[in-house]
A and B are shown apart, each in its own frame.
Chain A
Amino acid sequence: MSSLGSALLGLAFLAAVAAGAIALAGRNGDERRLRLSRRVAYAFCGLLTACVVIIELAFARNDFSFNIVAQHSSIETPAGYKLAAMWSSQEGSLLLWAWVLSIASSAALYATRNKLRELVPWATGVLMGVAAFFTGLMLFAPDVDPFAKLDPAPADGIGLNPLLQHPSMMIHPPMLYSGYVAFTVPFAFAIGALVTRRIDAEWIRATRRFALIAWTFLGFGLLLGARWSYTELGWGGYWAWDPVENAALMPWLLGTAFLHSIMVQEKRGMLKVWNASLIVGTFSMALLGTFLVRSGVLQSIHAFGDNTVGPYILGLIAVVLVGSTALIVSRLGELRSDKRIDSLASRESIFLVNNLLLVGMTAVIFWGTFFPLISELFTGHKASLAAPWFDRYTTPLAIGLVLFTGVGPLLAWRRVSWESARRVFRVPLAVAAVVALALAFFTDAAENPWALALFAFAAFALTGLAQEFWSGAQARRQLSGEPGARALVGLVSRNRRRYGGYIVHVGVIVLLIGIAASSSFQTNRDVELRPGESTTVDGRTITYVKPTVAVDEEKFTFGSLLRVEEGGALVGFLRPSRRFFRPTGQEAGLISTYFAGEATSEVGLRAGLGHDLWIAEQPNVQDVQRGVRLADQKFKACVRGAPGTPEQCKALKALMHAAAANPSLRAQALGPISQAQALAAKRVANTFLTTNASSTFKVIVNPLVTWMWIGGLIALAGALIGLWPSRGRRRGALVRTEADARKEAKYREIRDAELDHATGKLSDEDFALVDAELRREAIEILGRESGAGSENGNGNGNGAHPREPEKLEQG
């Protein structure tokens, strides 16, 4: 099976190289070559899918002749984690990278099969180049062959590290990888656009969806990682400014900036250099994230042990950066903006400000993450920066972001008149002032001015967004006569991009409120308790009712039952515990092996909309360990046949002798031995219940932290609404040409202006001006098309008849 896999992987590599080469050979618009290259790219995807299936089957069948299976799975590993074990390995994660890229590439090539004739060959070249790079790594770099064989195959594998046995392991890494990888698509098309000098908004329109998908995956992956850390790792935080976390956050921040600034290019033909640079930066950051976990250059809790592929990825990053920069510089002439920003008080200028804040934040994080290397360069010593340093910069930047996130949606494109500004800002400003005053007087939020500012700006932004939905629905109701709720649904579904985006804003602001509250107003205490004792943390009385023990073949679990009371009334019980795992693959043997493996915390968590009560336990197991040592000594004495050993012991010894003489009896002998051991282990572990041992409890009272997760889910929902295909597309208008896309974009712009006018953001005169200009541009597009025939040679007639811009009132 593994030789078949190797062969398929080799074929996949050839397919990637071929698809790229054929596409480039067809760069002059050779239809046949383009079609062929597309098909070879699909085949590449099929081949890698087969490779993944072979590996996953090997995991499912416990085929330990696969090195990857033997190293990362075992017979006892639960089925779900067997499937997830693939990406816990270096080679498996590279395969996942390449596989996701092959899927994203196929989807992108399929989506653009009828448009962007000039651009697609180059984009295919870039996509397949990156794909060939990662496939080639697995084939040619040392120690990362996913199909490496083990001969002879071991009877059992090492198993998946217990720390990774968490449901998040099944989705968190694939989400992050999908996020990283999907940014390759807009990058490839940007390169194509630069090479062919087709630097209008076409490449953006064709790949915007991929950028949004990448952004969504990456964001959701980050959120899952934070959640995992919070509930599992026993330190109580969700973000540590760890280099690898930062490496995933940076492309996400740049991607956020990109998703906003491309709107300015689409609508206004501005910021072209900026957008091209942003996507190059985003893609480089994604590669950097892939590199960091494999390089060992920075101290991080996430790191693969082997450092074999780091230098190659660094080489790729260098090629990407140097090549793209040279390309952008050589095209500076064509990248000049079509228009200028009319006014500082316009949506595009707010987008620009938010972009600068996001890029500034990325720069801060980049500097902090790589500071150990920078400082080594200048001072000769590695020195690193801790969380307070990061917080000092990211806090004000994040607060600025919230403020401008609130301002942006309230302004119209191009220009805003005084009265309309006054009209739309009145309510949000009033609400923000009331919230700020109320918080300052009635809570202790004033102790932390940063947090207070964030809450006030968040109130401003959320009210502004609510007003957007409200006045949009009002306007629609007046035109269509629909009842309120239907009008709202109709409004959102007719303008998915805009209102989906607003819902993402709501989610992110709610998430930031959760972060601000939980990081500024958290109570965090370490207390040592014996059974029966209690302590009071932030008004909650916590009593250590009794210790608990569970023993099974793979672990000891020492825990406790805690009673939580608030104001004398019982709130509930919590059961934190700590698990001590045996290193896998050790059947019978000494009991002390239970303390030789990983230990993990099971957090006792009482989540609430107001507060979370979070408790992790570190039991004092010294007495138990002493008992274990004694039991092990007895066992050894028994095996040596010391004088005065009991009957049971003699029988055991006889069995072991028999097994030593005749290997076929081994299995038979092992049963009673491990049974005796299990019994002894249980007896020793149970002494934890009676020795009155103390435990150290980490007790955290975290205000509003639940809103982080809720906000994340709201943002996810918003992103999905924004991604959902519009009705026209679903109705079978799958084949869209460039001309169609351009027309549709212009219609959408007209509709946006109408909406802005209807919701009071554009004054009557401004609207008249803007509308006239947009309609002139629309007519120009239509005229160009009928004059030149269908410029893209599509024979399906789909784009031939100009549609009227759909108005608000049309359902």
Chain B
Amino acid sequence: MPVDPQRKRKIRLVVALGVAVLLAVALIYTSFSASTEAKEPSELLNAAPGTSAELTGTVVNGSIKRDGNGIAFRVVDRDGKGKSLPVTYEGTVPDPFRGGREIVLTGTVEGAGFVGEPETLITKCPSKFTTKSDV
């Protein structure tokens, strides 16, 4: 059965647009449900246990301690103010990790502290990356 080429093109266009819309809806839906909220220590200090979040903040200088197979350290808000939050993390840490660095860590609030999920610790690189105030 011959199909009018004009109509065929229209159908193709509709199909293509439909796929695009589907992809967009899926993107929007999954991204809002899969994302974890970024929070600073001051927002998590009084959070209910079991709250999961993406912790962002600065590692307190001299607070890093080894703890069995993992490490324990404290994190403060990026502006350096407020109380610090104790954090534990299992496993190896990335190279740039140390006191005074900004980190991003996914995990949950347990008790009075924050427990990071393995493999989720991200440390911001310095240097290429250096600020003048950092020196």
Contacts and interface: CB of A to CB of B under 8 A. Distances in A.
B80 interface: no
Contacts of A464: none
B96 A526 contact: no
B91 A698 contact: yes
A368 interface: yes
A622 interface: yes
Given A367-B27, A696-B69, A161 B34 contact: no
Contact of A375 (B32, B92, B118, B124): B32
Interface residues of B, number: 48
Given A384-B38, A385-B31, A698 B129 contact: no
Most buried by A among B31, B104, B128, B132: B128
Nearest to A392: B30
Report, as a range, how many residues of chain A touch the other chain.
35 or more
Nearest to B120: A386
A632 interface: no
B95 A601 contact: yes
Contacts of A616: 92
Most buried by A among B69, B122, B127: B127
A383 B123 CA distance: 17
B66 A620 contact: yes
Interface of A: 71-72, 88-89, 143, 158, 160-161, 163-164, 173, 232-235, 240, 242, 299-306, 340, 356, 360, 363-364, 367-368, 371-372, 374-375, 381-386, 388-389, 392-393, 524, 526, 528, 598-601, 616, 618, 620, 622, 696, 698
A234 B92 contact: yes
Contacts of A364: 23, 27
Given A161-B127, A163-B127, A367-B27, A299 B92 contact: no
Interface in B49-63: 54, 56
Nearest to A622: B66
Given A599-B95, A620-B66, A698-B92, A161 B122 contact: no
A242 B124 CA distance: 11
7 contacts: A158-B135, A235-B94, A240-B122, A305-B130, A371-B35, A381-B37, A696-B69
Most buried by A among B24, B90, B125: B125
B131 A163 contact: no
B4 interface: no
A300 B124 contact: yes
5 tightest CB-CB pairs across the interface, nearest first? Answer: A305-B131, A161-B127, A383-B35, A382-B38, A383-B37
B134 interface: yes
Contact of B126 (A161, A240, A599, A620): A161
B6 to A, nearest CB: 10
Contact of A299 (B30, B90, B104, B133): B104
B55 to A, nearest CB: 11
B4 to A, nearest CB: 13
Contact of A368 (B31, B37, B118): B31
A385 B38 contact: no
B84 interface: no
A325 B76 CA distance: 45
A305 B129 contact: yes
B127 A160 contact: yes
B95 A389 contact: no
B92 A526 contact: yes
B129 A598 contact: no
B133 to A, nearest CB: 8
